[in-house]
Structure 1
């Protein structure tokens, strides 16, 4: 995401709120979810920047905090980005000292990605920032509304995953 001025950010937020509250309050759910996700990401990006971490590195760090030592290809698949995008990000993260890449003795084909102590330590700094964004987004919602929203989004994810599997099966593809 390109760096925006505070005035431009405010303009985007104002336009978005007007869209949802006045112009087309009943627009498609997909658009509402997309705009909400963009709002989460913008808020998170602002906080990550205070720690000198880019939003693009956040996804890879989150995955590696859970599964250190993945191959570059597996990391790319987990993050849902192209291999070339992953390579660029990993090179930058390596130069920042967050990760190291290495081939294993028995497998010279694959490049494995490992967190450094610095990369591992970022978890204690960055996860609270993401939790802050979540608290901010959920402010004003009671526990029942949060639980309903969570259940609803999980049902949508399940429905879309089944649709994806069905589409691949009908096309004669293997499941992704």
Structure 2
């Protein structure tokens, strides 16, 4: 979990130092604090935050290639390779070729990796609940809508191939 000093520094920044700092920085700080809170919970179960992303992907669609995992997680393939190798050593996944396809290596959850879903997902839900505990359902819906619109705006900008000036 974030230390009280680092949390106080973030709060001071947003409340006193630069309360109107760029929205991107605010979103980043929220994400960092959520990540730290979840990391602290995951480590109690021997799972790193880096493995969390891949587990989430595999819980939704098991048997993906390492390239598919990289794309879904938004990380480079060497990062995925290292994570998959470590997760395999921990007994969370296994890599194997599908019958008739010796080219691609597919990643599958083991029983141990699959069983973690019922343990770890509630931890992420807990962090999310903490984040919104003082907000009304209407406010949460508004924040969600605004963040999705931001993603859509950035996706449209990317599709237009806008070059930075």
Match of 2:79 in 1: 85
Match of 1:104 among 87, 90, 98: 98
SS in 1 for 2:27: helix
Q: Equivalent residues in 2 for 1:10-159 (5 A)? A: 10-159=4-153
SS in 2 for 1:101: strand
User: Does 152-161 or 104-113 show the bigger shift?
Assistant: 104-113
1:10 shift after superposition: 2.3
Looking at structure 1, the residues matched to 59 and 158 of structure 2 have their Cα atoms a distance apart, in angstroms, of 28
Looking at structure 2, the residues matched to 73 and 106 of structure 1 have their Cα atoms a distance apart, in angstroms, of 19
Looking at structure 2, the residues matched to 17 and 32 of structure 1 have their Cα atoms a distance apart, in angstroms, of 10
Looking at structure 2, the residues matched to 162 and 111 of structure 1 have their Cα atoms a distance apart, in angstroms, of 34
1:119 shift after superposition: 0.5
Q: TM-score, normalised on structure 1?
A: 0.89
SS in 2 for 1:21: helix
1:11 shift after superposition: 2.2
Query: Gapped runs of 5+ residues in structure 1?
Result: 1-5, 171-176
1:105 shift after superposition: 2.9
1:165 shift after superposition: 1.3
Looking at structure 2, the residues matched to 107 and 165 of structure 1 have their Cα atoms a distance apart, in angstroms, of 34
Q: TM-score, normalised on structure 2?
A: 0.95
SS in 1 for 2:3: helix
Looking at structure 1, the residues matched to 100 and 67 of structure 2 have their Cα atoms a distance apart, in angstroms, of 17
1:104 shift after superposition: 2.0
Looking at structure 2, the residues matched to 151 and 59 of structure 1 have their Cα atoms a distance apart, in angstroms, of 23
Q: Aligned pairs, how many?
A: 163
Match of 1:174 in 2: none
Match of 1:9 among 3, 8, 22: 3
